[in-house]
Amino acid sequence: MTPTERTAFTPMRVIRTLAALTAALTLAVAAAGCGDDETSGSTDTGAAASGEKTKVGFIYVGPKDDFGYNQAAFEGSEAAAAELGNIELLQAESVPEDAGVERVMERMISQGAKVLFPTSYGYLKYAEAVAAKHPDVVVVHQGGLESKPGAPNFGTYFGTVYEPVYLAGIAAGKATKTNKLGYIVAFPIPQTLANVNAFELGAKSVNPKATTTVVFTASWCDPGKQAQAATALISQKVDVLTQHQDCTKTIIETAERAGVSSVGYHYDASSLAPKGWLTGSEWNWGPMYTDIITTALEGKFEGSPYDGDYRVGLQTGDNPFVQSPFGPGVDDATKAEIETAKAKLADTGIFTGPLKDQSGKEVVPAGKTLTYDEVEQMNFLVEGVVGNIPK
């Protein structure tokens, strides 16, 4: 194209073009905006109108069919809605852990949401920011710890994930022939470190020679990195693989193909590994979601146990994180041992001294047991875990 060709520009032509464009856009907009008045009208009347459903928003970091964390939370939301009946769910999946989630929460609020469940760890500060802006909306964050002093309309909740993980560790410790277990972890946060430690302690309780090799992927769900880590661990003679990832499909399928055992997390994925599946842990969020929503909608959230950092487990008797069914590789003796350990855990807890970290330094003295709050601050890996916390 030569410059002279391009000088065919005249003001008239631009005006004509702009006019045509405006007309086209107006048409598109008019078409798109048609149903507008009715729809926004119905949102404005809100829950006050009789028969109107109350809106509750759920936000997930990954897809809601990931055989993992997000699917478990999604199914929990559906269970709560089915239980309560008069609830309309607003769902948003695959929302990254950045400030964009504020926009998603704001959109849900402007759609009339009265309770929000931002369910990923990295949503915490954005969830707190949105809660501060909207005192009339209850925001509950899954898995984080509230900044102190907390807002009256904000709280966090979680199960004690490491308890069923400890029990699964027993199954793994019994099943391994090489005495090498593998743990593929997303980020080195207290929650994940506690799980790795619990798994190793569980395995060691039945098999003193068992070690757990840990790999961090720096992503909640990156199937490429997961496959890489799983293959690397298997080549190092690891014969039981488990994980702290949001999506669990890749690792379990990789383990099954390689003929090694797998332990699930977040969701019952035993259908993916009919041979190698040992057991796992999974969420049963429905009852807790139902109770949180009921508490919030009755106006009783402020001052309730949920208005803070709400944690339950075996010791309180209502852990939403439960054991998955056993696979064919777990014998009855092991099952009995796990039952015994479960009863003991409800009594004593897992992180009971003396506990040494990887360097051999004593981190929990004899006679002391870490409380749920203390476990939330965990920053070490116990003796027997191979691999370092990334610095």
Partner 1 sequence: MTALRRLRPPDPAVLGRDLLRWGSAVVIGLAGFAFFVAAVGADPFEALSAMWRAAVVDPIGPGEVLVYAAPVILAALAVAIPARAGLWNLGGEGQITMGVVGATVASHMIPSSLDSWAALPLLAVGAAIAGAIWCGIAAVLRVSVNLNEAISSLLLSYVALRVLDYLVNGPWKDPGSLGIPQAEPLPASQQLPLLDWLPVFGGGRLHAGILVAVLALAVVLFASRRTVWGFRLRVVGGNPEAARRAGLPVKQLIITAMLAGGAIAGLAGFVQLTGVEGAAKGGIAGVYGFLGFLVSWLGRHDPVAILIGAVVVGGIAVGGDALQIDAGLPAASINILLALLLLAVLGRRGRARGAEG
DSSP character string of 225-291: HHHHHHHHHHHTT--EEEEE-S--HHHHHHHHHHT-EEEEEES--GGG-TTTEEEEEEE--HHHHHH
Check binding of 82 to partner 1 (CB under 8 A): no
Check binding of 118 to partner 1 (CB under 8 A): no
- Footprint (CB under 8 A) of partner 1, residues 203-242: 218
Check binding of 367 to partner 1 (CB under 8 A): no
List 39, 86, 340, 371, residue binding partner 1 (CB under 8 A):
39
DSSP character string of 145-199: ---SSPPTTEEEEEE-THHHHHHHHHHHHHH-SSSEEEEEESS--HHHHHHHHHH
Strands 240-244 and 211-216: unpaired
Which one, 145 or 330, has the nearer CB to partner 1? 145
Check binding of 99 to partner 1 (CB under 8 A): yes
The answer to whether the beta carbons of residues 61 and 220 sit under 8 Å apart is yes
Which one, 18 or 343, has the nearer CB to partner 1? 18
Check binding of 6 to partner 1 (CB under 8 A): yes
Check binding of 308 to partner 1 (CB under 8 A): no
Q: What angle do CA 116, 118, 123 make, to 5 degrees?
A: 135
Side chain identity, residue 143: G
Which one, 16 or 209, has the nearer CB to partner 1? 16
Check binding of 122 to partner 1 (CB under 8 A): yes
Segment contacting partner 1 by CB under 8 A, of 15-23, 151-159, 220-228, 265-273 = 15-23
d(CA 148, CA 137): 19
Check binding of 45 to partner 1 (CB under 8 A): no
- Smallest distance from partner 1 to CB 110, Å: 5
Which one, 71 or 254, has the nearer CB to partner 1? 71
End-to-end CA separation in angstroms for the chain? 55
Side chain identity, residue 19: A
Check binding of 154 to partner 1 (CB under 8 A): no
Which one, 102 or 357, has the nearer CB to partner 1? 102
Task: Please tell me the count of residues contacting partner 1 according to CB under 8 A.
Answer: 60
Token pair of 65, please?
Answer: 């069919």
Segment contacting partner 1 by CB under 8 A, of 84-92, 265-273, 300-308, 356-364 = 84-92
